[in-house]
Chain A
Amino acid sequence: MARVLMKGNEAIAEAALRGGAQAFFGYPITPQNEIPEYMAREMPKRGGVFLQSESELSGINMVLGASASGARVITSSSGPGFSLMLEAISSMALTRLPCVLVDIVRSGPGMGDLAPAQEDYKIAGNGSYKIPVLLPGNVQEAAEMVVEAFDIADQYGTPVLILADGMIGQMMEPVDFDKMPPKRKNLPDKPWRMVGIAEKGYRTQMTIHYDMKLTESTWIFEHEVMPEIIKNEARWESFGLKDAEIVVTAYGTAARMAKSIIEDMPDAKIGLIRPKTAWPFPYQAYEEIGPNCKAVVCAEMNTIGQMIDDVRIAVAGKYPVYHVGNTKEAPLEPENIIDKIQHLLGGAKS
């Protein structure tokens, strides 16, 4: 298949179908509406289930039911709706149910507005758990990550979140669906699936922690599952770290801004680290930073900063870390990052 020009949201939906999605449940919210709209058109043609739920709360619980039934299932939303889903996502993390979640992020807090943002990096439900979070930087990558997310979900028994700012969802770019990641081998079967005793030959009782103590179940996750995910699934892109005086770190659209700035400032020694996964966070990428580094600039499309906490852990006090984000006037713009870099380099000279 040749490259096709597609909107990020539509590429995500098409990739989900190619990744084997058998069902989509979800509720309308801007800026992700092209995903359910695409699914509504395509799912019936391809023998899958599309259902528009009465709320995100209901939608994610349909996802839970479909996942428990053994199906590959996906939902999508944005911050206000995603917040409503957290109860069930937390529960799916506990019962180790796989699914793919897509959050096309808009500005918050609360209803906020519809501008693209990176404000859901720290979104989490109750209890101690972590789920893999993938951070696409362009439309092609978003499609590839969705295909892979279904395999990651099945391999480890976990929800997997595609966290993309509204710009990635709304922009059009060429996508080549021939370049999707290969299907992972040796994915586990789903012996627990809800299908009735007759078909399996045994009964499944999918209560909050099966027949285990809660602490045993969460201990297994921490000590057996988490280390495997951390070892195998951290992804990042980096360049220019050895000689860098300033390292810019950013993901998604903020990373695209950072790359364009680095191209525009060829005389400055600026390196880049672009995490492609928020969890597991690629802490190891920051160990490659060379001795000339004066500061790390963490550019995010938000106020306060969210990924910056992981960056601070990664550099462990070796360099000062600065947040560059939304200004009083507008969401993050490339000029804000340039100003910060020039200030830091100027300050270093004087």
Chain B
Amino acid sequence: MSVAYTRPKSLTNAPYTYCPGCGHGIATTLAAACIDELDIQGITISVSSVGCGGMGPWFFDTDVISPMHGRAPATATGIKRIHPDKVVWTYQGDGDLASIGTAEIVHAAHRGEKITVIFINNTTYGMTGGQMAPTTLPGQKTTTSPYGRDAQSIGNPIRMAEMLATIDGAKYVERVSVDTPANIRKTKKAIKRAFECQMKGVGFSLVEILSTCPTNWGMTPVESMEWLREEMIPYYPLGNFKNFQD
């Protein structure tokens, strides 16, 4: 009998503390599986973030550090510059990366910092209870946009992958989703490619993963996957925005 699936060895034994049905669980497992497949567990240094992404240090079985809110790319830069031969990556949500940490992510990309960023976009601040994020969709109701996001007042959602792809130092940028088995396979492929971008010394790499937050969206896990597909993907088109030659 062959083994079709096993828990990635780059995960600790800690059970996930994400809410039931949350897309973070899929993304976390995929990232660990990629670290396994690339055989880099021993040389990987993981940098988490603040928010639900901040639970990562309990799950990733690598050296792992909790940075300040939004500053993961700066902390990762400090680590990578001291250990250029190691694999350094961040795992950040949309409040962390697209709001408080915009300067850090833009300039890490701008410097062509040889780090990998896994960016979870679920349109909300999950950990603090579902507040509006820069990625919240037009009209979407959250605890701080109770009448729906009003673009006249607060602007339209920010598309980070497209923005970062315009930066010269960013060498691999792709947006993926965890809403279907096919898209989950594509997500895994993209994460692996992003790590390879770093390992080959090409430059900055980022994968934006469209994900779900059933708890704060007030939906079942299945409904939230449908909402992702029907509402998020039309605004945040999937695909590759920047790639490098092998």
Contact = CB atoms under 8 A, between A and B. Distances in A.
A88 interface: yes
Given A194-B65, A196-B63, A66 B79 contact: yes
A23 B78 contact: yes
Contacts of A23: 78, 81-82
A258 interface: no
A71 B103 contact: no
Contacts, number: 126
Given A194-B45, A195-B86, A196-B45, A204 B78 contact: no
Nearest to A88: B68
Interface string B66-89: 111001001111111111001100
Nearest to A92: B68
Contact of A62 (B62, B74, B83, B87): B74
Contacts of B43: 196, 198-199
Interface in A61-118: 61-71, 73, 87-88, 91
A51 to B, nearest CB: 6
A195 B83 CA distance: 7
B19 interface: no
A58 B57 contact: no
A207 B66 contact: yes
The residue among A25, A51, A195 with the most chain B CB atoms within 10 A of its own CB is A195
A88 B71 contact: yes
A22 interface: yes
A120 B53 CA distance: 35
Interface string B171-210: 0000000000000000000000000000000000000000
Given A49-B81, A195-B45, A195-B83, A58 B63 contact: no
Contact of B71 (A61, A73, A194, A198): A61
B107 interface: yes
A203 B62 contact: yes
A61 B79 contact: no
A208 interface: yes
Interface in A186-242: 194-200, 203-208
B104 A69 contact: no
A57 interface: yes
Contact of A195 (B58, B61, B63, B71): B63
Given A51-B81, A196-B43, A206 B65 contact: yes
Contacts of B65: 65, 68, 194, 206-207
B66 to A, nearest CB: 5
B211 interface: no
B63 A204 contact: yes
A54 interface: yes
Contact of A197 (B63, B74, B107): B63
A87 B77 CA distance: 18
Interface residues of B, number: 33
Contacts of A65: 47, 65, 67, 74-80, 82
A53 interface: yes
A142 to B, nearest CB: 25
The residue among B58, B75, B87 with the most chain A CB atoms within 10 A of its own CB is B75
A58 B42 contact: no
Interface string A152-173: 0000000000000000000000
Given A55-B103, A195-B83, A197-B41, A64 B64 contact: no
A66 B82 contact: yes
Nearest to B66: A207
B44 interface: yes
Contact of A69 (B57, B67, B82): B82
Contacts of A73: 78
Given A23-B81, A197-B63, A206-B65, A58 B103 contact: yes
A51 B47 CA distance: 20
Nearest to B67: A61
A71 B107 contact: no
A333 B107 CA distance: 44
Contacts of B61: 197, 203
Contacts of A91: 68
B57 A64 contact: no
A63 B79 CA distance: 9
B66 A57 contact: no
Contacts of A197: 41-42, 61-63
> Which 7 pairs show the lowest CB-CB distances between chains A and B?
A65-B78, A198-B42, A61-B74, A62-B78, A61-B71, A65-B75, A69-B82
Interface of A: 22-23, 25, 49, 51, 53-55, 57-59, 61-71, 73, 87-88, 91, 194-200, 203-208
